[in-house]
Structure 1
């Protein structure tokens, strides 16, 4: 066999996931590419890993709670279901960058945080990740003191939120919309630079520098691997453009309040800006949009101890406190 006919790499996602010309998918067994420092005391938070489902070979959830609940938390803690980023193609709640984010949220909201893994593309194309997000939330809401005292002793599932960053923010949107359709109870959704894309280029996409952490080229690579393989394929598919021209209207869906936090220097900024007013003005949803000046994509995960990350934690904490006892 000549070397030219041997399988070669046709898609490469940051060296973590590679697709070969024969369709083989290679995943790196090495350390994740986004290393961050974790404090020795882990922010005064304790955590454990559990399998939230045995399907698909098993998927992990990492559960977090403050070590010292204390008298101030006698009413028990709000619960935050969290979904990690990674372009739908890689990532895990066990990676240090996402672990650090959840440590901060658990300690500083404070809250019980459940960080969920989900199936990844290209082996499992969308809407697999969003379907797993919905299933993970159903699993969490079914937990009881008998099934998991460690969680149930600290958690107040009547104060339940969904959240995620980048691809996980997209998952959180779809989960929140699905809970609305199904009559489920959720107090709010927190979307941190949620992954959204579309056919027409936005200004923030056109002006994105080629050395940015997330570029149009990178987004297109993720989408080629993640979007459903179906007739009429388009970047405007509702799974990735939930407020775009092909998205089903949500005006009849009773959704909880939504917080969108975008980076002012993020490629996704304009997509996030467009999502918020359509949700609010056309579909009547309670949506708050906040922009972090000068922040690029992934800033919270890549530097979870930065001033920008401090600002995000303050914004999310205020949102959770404002809505955790809402009767709406």
Structure 2
């Protein structure tokens, strides 16, 4: 009489903030709710003077975009305002523009820049590993081009100045914004649609060799730790790829040189307490000194990773809004 080995229940192999779990049998479990830290954010939309709506920008993959515009704008052309195409963070694995924290931050950008903000969702890993997110970023910009040509949502027509587009994102979204900006160059998306700049807010970057911040200076209570970065990389990278792959290390040893790419100016913002700050600084330095790009690097003293989406109404978030506003005003009309 033969006996088979006892069946064991699948167990959690990787966990991302409790909202995504990779199981030992390869299945993925996702929560419909964001982490408690993010869902507790006060959106304060009535105080912002902003209206918004959701659209499906990619029906094939069920991808949502949340569109924002100030409530009170004149109909004249000179009342139109810049466009910020925004990609949320979440390690390429979790997140949505509909989460309260990302929603609140986009409300602030819309109200205080001011700008029309288009907050795009994209496919997430591990079901869709990189470069799926960057590919979705490029396709989202094609949707924007269609909107600018009148084939998109007419809700944007009276407010959006598509000749003043800024590509933006935080963390993983900042990485996507880099790849989108490189792919589009300064010429943008054709007649009438110009890329004026890229806003990389604590952009997600990695590498095989540890930086000082990752190895020695990551606080135990940090919002993002070295261990978390490694987990996101394991889940997001293509099978067999290392952290030096250019999808995660856009200025690393395997990244193609960008000397010949004509890019709009880039703003890189890092937190002084962020585990990614060394990589952000190295990226800005190589982009500027080796590849000849116009790059501004700003470090917000004492700030943790994603401080502006963890608490979009904090004093440090106020500082970041001022930094972003100045950059947008300085570059929205440059040739």
**Do the two structures share a fold, i.e. TM-score over 0.5?**
yes
Change in CA separation of 1:235 and 1:158 when aligned onto 2, cut-off 3 Å: same
**1:60 maps to which residue?**
64
Match of residue 307 from structure 1: 315
Equivalent in 286, 294, 318 of residue 294 of structure 2: 286
CA RMSD of aligned residues (A): 1.7
2:268 equivalent to 1:273:
no
Contact 2:198 2:265 (8 Å CA) reproduced: yes
Q: If the length of structure 1 is used for normalisation, what is the TM-score?
A: 0.95
Counterpart of 1:197 in structure 2 is 206
Which blocks of at least 5 consecutive residues in structure 2 are unaligned?
A: none
1:216, CA displacement in angstroms? 0.7
Name the residue aligned to 2:235: 225
Deviation at 1:54, TM superposition (A): 1.0
Preserved contact between residue 75 and residue 158 of structure 2 (Cα < 8 Å): no
Output one character per residue of 1:147-190: Cα deviation in whole Å (capped at 9) or x when no partner: 42211221110001100000000000000001019864310000
String of CA shifts for 1:88-121, please: whole Å, max 9, x gaps: 0000000000000100000000000000000000
- 1:16-42 Cα offsets, whole Å, 9 max, x none, are 100000000000123443120121505
Output one character per residue of 1:230-277: Cα deviation in whole Å (capped at 9) or x when no partner: 4xx211110000000000000100111000010000000000000001
Change (3 A) 1:252 1:162: same
Q: Distance in 1 between matches of 2:132 and 2:24?
A: 23
Between the aligned partners of 2:220 and 2:204, the Cα distance in structure 1 is: 19
Q: CA deviation at 1:74?
A: 3.1
Contact preservation (8 Å) 2:19, 2:34? no
SS in 2 for 1:41: helix
Which of 132, 136, 155 lines up with 1:132 in the alignment?
136
* One of 102, 107, 111 as aligned partner of 2:111: 107
Which residue number in structure 2 is paired with residue 117 of structure 1? 121
1:53 Cα offset (Å): 1.0
Check 1:198–1:147 CA distance in 2 against 1; reply closer, same or farther (3 A cut). closer
CA–CA separation in structure 2 for the residues paired with 1:108 and 1:141: 24
Aligned partners of 2:188, 2:152: CA distance in 1, in Å? Answer: 24
- The structural deviation recorded for 1:5 is 2.3
CA distance 1:159–1:16, shift in 2 (3 Å) = same
Report the Cα distance in structure 2 between the residues aligned to 1:62 and 1:18, rounded to whole angstroms.
Answer: 26
Of residues 303, 306, 331, the one that matches 1:298 is 306
Distance across 1 between alignment mates of 2:152 and 2:219: 50
Question: How many residues of Structure 1 are paired with residues of Structure 2 in the alignment?
Answer: 324
Q: Distance in 1 between matches of 2:86 and 2:198?
A: 10
Match of 1:166 in 2: 171
**Corresponding residue for residue 235 of structure 1:** 243
Question: Are 2:20 and 2:31, in contact at CA under 8 Å, matched by a contact in 1?
Answer: yes
TM-score norm. by structure 2 comes to 0.93
Residues 1:238 and 1:147: Cα distance change in structure 2 (over 3 Å)? closer
Structure 1 gaps of 5+ residues are none
Is the alpha carbon distance of 1:279 and 1:5 closer, same or farther for their aligned partners in structure 2, counting shifts above 3 Å? Answer: same
2:328 is matched with 320
